Amino acid sequence: LDDLIAEGLITATGVAGLYGRSGRFEAIVDGLRRRISALPVAAQAEVFHFPPLMSRAVFEDNGYMSSFPHLAGVVATFAGDEREHRALCEDLASGVDWLCRCCSADVVLTPAACYPVYPLVASRGPVPLEGASFDIESFCFRREPSTDPFRLQSFRQKEFVFVGAPEQATARRAAWMAQARDLAADLGLRFSVEPASDAFFGKGGRIAAGRQHEEELKLELLVSIPGRDQPVACMSFNLHQDKFALACGLSGLKGATVHSACAGFGLERLAMALLAMHGADPKAWPAEARRLVG
C-alpha cells in the first residue's frame, strides 16, 4: 500500500480500502479492460457498463442479505420536512447519530457486477436457444475494510455473463477459463486455478461454501505476488446453476431449464498484480505485457 501511494499510483482518502487512482494506474486498467474484451470468447457479447448502485428489489430477490449481510452496503437518504431537518442538523452538531433520521432508498450499492444482468434478460422474454452473452463492468462495493491494497471496499469488476442451457453454461465457463489463463500467462503472471467458495455468512454459510467448493461451482485464478505468502484471487469463474434464473424469473423456450454463469475479473487487483510483478513503471515492463495492456 505504501509503495503504491509513494509511487503516485493511488492516493489515500482516509478510509481503508478506498483510494483515488492516478492516470498511470487508470491507463493500466484501461488496457486490461480492452484486452479482456478482445478475448475471442467475448466476441458476440453485448456490452454494458452499470452504475455503482442497483435496484434494492433485485438485490433482495437475489438473496444477498441471506448469504452476505456482512458485505452489503445500503443507501440511506433524508426525506423529512423542515422540522425533521432541524433535528437532523442538531444531531449532527452535537455528534449524535443522525442516520436514524434517514430512511432506506430503493437503491443499494452493487455488490457484484452481474446482478443487474438477470432482470434485463428476464425483461426480454424466454431465453433464446443460443443463450445470451454479456461483457459488463461495474463498480462494486463490499464492506471489507483492510489495509491490504488488494482488498478494497470499492473496486471494479469486469465480467462475462452467460444465460442459457445448463450444458452451454458449463461449456462457456470452460472457454472463459481457458482464454483467461492464456491471457494471465501472456501478461507474465504466475498463477494457479483452484476451487474456491464465496464468503457466506455464519454457520449456515459454511454448508453453502462447502458445497460450492466440492462441486467446483467457483474456480479462482490465484496470482502469486512477489513478497506475499498467500496468492491473490484476481479472477473467478462461476456456475450459478439455476439460482439467478429462479430469483429473476428467467425461462427458456418451451419451459427449458435456464442456468447462468459468470467470469469476474478484478481490474484493480489485476493492475496491482502486474505492478507488483513487473514494477511500478510500465515503461520498464516486459515487452509482451506492455503490448497487451497497450
Which residues inside 265-294 make contact with ligand AMP, applying CB under 6 A?
Answer: 266, 268-269
* Cβ closest to ligand AMP, residue 65 vs residue 96: 65
Residue 114 Cβ vs Zn ion, minimum distance, rounded to whole Å = 3
* Cβ closest to ligand AMP, residue 252 vs residue 264: 264
Which residues inside 149-168 make contact with ligand AMP, applying CB under 6 A?
Answer: 151-152, 155, 157
Contact 181, 223 (CB under 8 A): no
114 binds, among Zn ion, ligand AMP, none (CB under 5 to 8 A by kind): Zn ion
Specify the stretch interacting with Zn ion by CB under 5 A; choose among 42-50, 86-94, 105-113, 145-153. Answer: 105-113
What distance in Å separates the CA atoms of residue 196 and residue 216, rounded to the nearest whole number? Answer: 7
Q: Is 10 in the site for Zn ion (CB under 5 A)?
A: no
| Helix ranges restricted to H, 7-127 | 23-37, 56-61, 64-67, 82-93, 117-123
Draw the binding track, 108-137, toward ligand AMP (x: CB under 6 A; -: no contact). Answer: ----x-------------------------
Specify the stretch interacting with ligand AMP by CB under 6 A; choose among 36-44, 121-129, 148-156, 277-285. Answer: 148-156
Point out which residues pair with 218 in neighbouring strands: 238
* Cβ closest to ligand AMP, residue 1 vs residue 87: 1
Q: What contacts 127, CB < 8 A, 6 or more positions away? A: 121, 163, 164, 250, 251, 252, 253, 256, 258
Would you give the end-to-end CA distance of the chain in angstroms?
25
Residue 240 to residues 93, 98, 122, Cα–Cα distance (Å): 48, 39, 16
Residue 155 Cβ vs ligand AMP, minimum distance, rounded to whole Å = 4
DSSP output for 171-208: HHHHHHHHHHHHHHHHTT--EEEEE------HHHHHHH
* Cβ closest to ligand AMP, residue 140 vs residue 250: 140
- Per CB under 5 A, the list member of 71, 114, 234, 267 interacting with Zn ion is 114
Which residues inside 213-252 make contact with ligand AMP, applying CB under 6 A?
Answer: 233-236
